[in-house]
Amino acid sequence: MKRLYILFLIALIGLSSCNRGEGIPGPRGYDGRDGIDGVDGEESYAFEYEFSFTAPEYSVLLNLPNDFEMLDSDVMQVYFLWGVEDGVEIWRSLPQTLYFNDGMLEYNYDFTKFDARVFLDGTVNLDGLGADLTDNWIARVVVIPAQFTGRIDYSDYNAVKAHLNLSDSKLASSDYPTRPY
């Protein structure tokens, strides 16, 4: 009797540990209807501004358009048109620092979800700066969605432009500044 009890217990344990699969397959469900194909929306935006730095603040507020909503999770990058060589625009990301014999000058920025403030800072006398350092700057403000942060070399405007599929023809600016060439 003891052997029969042990054999029954082993059989019970063996059956309970068997993989039973998913059971008997049921009828296949119906396919859903296809939805309407939509157009992919834009996720990144570039806004262009032209301005000069003036005393005493040496800062400029670049307001985003009223009909644009930047999300709290988005970030902003600012680029200056630093020069033009052979018709090719050279963009530099801020901050940019220039060194002189009497100190340093930094072009920098901060931002909110409504605007970017671009400003001059440094150890040089800002009141003594020439027009070549303060006047007629062209800046591009690029709003970058959170899903792209950390995956782009922000210092290279052309890399950001390519990664985010930005087009110069789609710059969200009412008047496109005149280029210095």
- pLDDT value at residue 156: 80
Both tokens of residue 65?
A: 């358009």
What is the Cα Rg of the chain in Å?
31
Q: Which DSSP state fits 159?
A: H
Backbone angles phi, psi at 4, to 5 degrees: -65, -40
Q: Which DSSP state fits 11?
A: H
**Average pLDDT of the chain to the nearest whole number:** 80
Tell me the residue type at 35.
G
What is the mean pLDDT of the segment spanning 81-101? 91
Q: Spell out the CATH class of 45-170.
A: mainly beta
Between residues 83 and 6, the one the model is more confident about: 83
Between residues 76 and 25, the one the model is more confident about: 76
Question: How do the domains of the chain map onto residue ranges?
Answer: 45-170
Residues with Cβ within 8 Å of 35's Cβ and at least 6 positions away in sequence, in order, are none
State yes or no: pLDDT of 81 exceeds 90: yes
Alpha carbon separation from 93 to 59, 70, 78, 154, 159 (Å, rounded)? 17, 20, 6, 7, 12
What is the mean pLDDT of the segment spanning 30-38? 65
> In this predicted model, what pLDDT tens digit does every residue of 104-163 receive, in sequence order?
999 999 999 999 999 999 999 999 999 999 999 999 999 988 776 666 777 787 777 777
The answer to whether 124 and 100 have CB atoms below 8 angstroms apart is yes
- pLDDT value at residue 56: 95
